[in-house]
């Protein structure tokens, strides 16, 4: 099983993101993520034995509950910023509580043998994955002075409360299934 933990945006944020993607899709043929996959990853776990799923579930359920917080999804960017980019993502403006949740998740499952993150936590919400496609028209459309879209100048997709996070199963073809839900408050 390939697993990760993450936070699902609320429907109004999902709708705002899906609207942008619907308007951008005709500009280039790239691998757009379906709105049902939108999430903010808190920990990529990777391959995990199904026989140890209960052990992982207990570790995540036993994490300290630091309390709810809010996340704002605003702005777009490419990663890496220099060409060729591999991902188009929505930026996540987040409080220290989100970083603390990611760190607590990392710590909780490190005791089970999952490698801790070596890089600083950098939350984002993936909208599309890129290979070698020509995305110049897409880049121009995302520049406020060149855009025909009224919402490009701020790309504010909304703010939502975080009261829970999820354990997801990632299957081939980018099919994500929520396996468990854990409260944060």
C-alpha pair distances (Å), 18 with each of 11, 14, 70, 170:
10, 6, 20, 21
Q: Mean of the pLDDT values across residues 140-163? A: 71
Split into its structural domains, the chain has a count of 1
Give, as one character, the DSSP assignment of residue 150: T
Amino acid 144: pLDDT: 59
Q: What is the pLDDT of residue 181?
A: 98
In sequence order, what are the residues at sequence separation of 6 or more whose Cβ sits closer than 8 angstroms to the Cβ of residue 11? none
CB-based burial label for 22 (10 Å; 0-12, 13-18, 19+):
exposed
Phi first, then psi, for residue 114 (nearest 5°) are: -80, 130
Tell how far CA 161 is from the center of its chain.
Answer: 15
12 against 66, higher pLDDT: 12
pLDDT in tens, 44-101: 999 999 999 999 999 999 999 889 999 999 988 888 776 777 888 999 998 999 999 9
Domain that holds residue 70: 2-183
What sign results for the dihedral spanned by CA atoms 27, 32, 38, 43? negative
Confidence check: pLDDT of 16 > 60: yes
Q: What is the CATH number of the domain that holds 40?
A: 3.90.1140.10
Phi, psi of 169 (to 5 degrees): -100, 130
Phi, psi of 142 (to 5 degrees): -90, 0
Tokens of 110: 């490190």
The CA–CA distances, whole Å, from 28 to 32, 37, 131, 132, 174 equal 10, 20, 12, 12, 20
Average pLDDT for residues 4-27, to the nearest whole number?
92
């Amino acid at each position: 099983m390939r697993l990760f933990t993450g936070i699902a945006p609320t429907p109004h944020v999902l709708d705002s993101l899906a609207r942008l993607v619907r308007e951008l899709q005709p500009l280039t043929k790239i691998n757009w993520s379906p709105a049902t996959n939108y999430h903010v990853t808190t920990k990529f776990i990777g391959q995990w034995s199904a026989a140890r799923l209960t052990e992982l579930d207990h570790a995540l359920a036993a994490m300290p509950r630091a309390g709810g917080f809010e996340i704002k999804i605003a702005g777009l960017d490419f990663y890496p910023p220099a060409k060729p980019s591999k991902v188009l993502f929505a930026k996540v403006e987040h409080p220290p509580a989100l970083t603390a949740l990611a760190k607590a998740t990392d710590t909780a499952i490190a005791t089970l043998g999952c490698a801790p993150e070596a890089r600083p936590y950098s939350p984002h919400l993936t909208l599309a994955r890129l290979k070698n496609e020509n995305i110049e028209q897409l880049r121009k459309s995302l520049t406020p002075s060149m855009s025909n879209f009224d919402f490009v100048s701020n790309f504010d997709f909304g703010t939502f409360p975080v009261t829970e996070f999820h354990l997801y199963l990632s299957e081939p073809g980018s099919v994500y299934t929520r396996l468990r839900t854990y409260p944060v408050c």
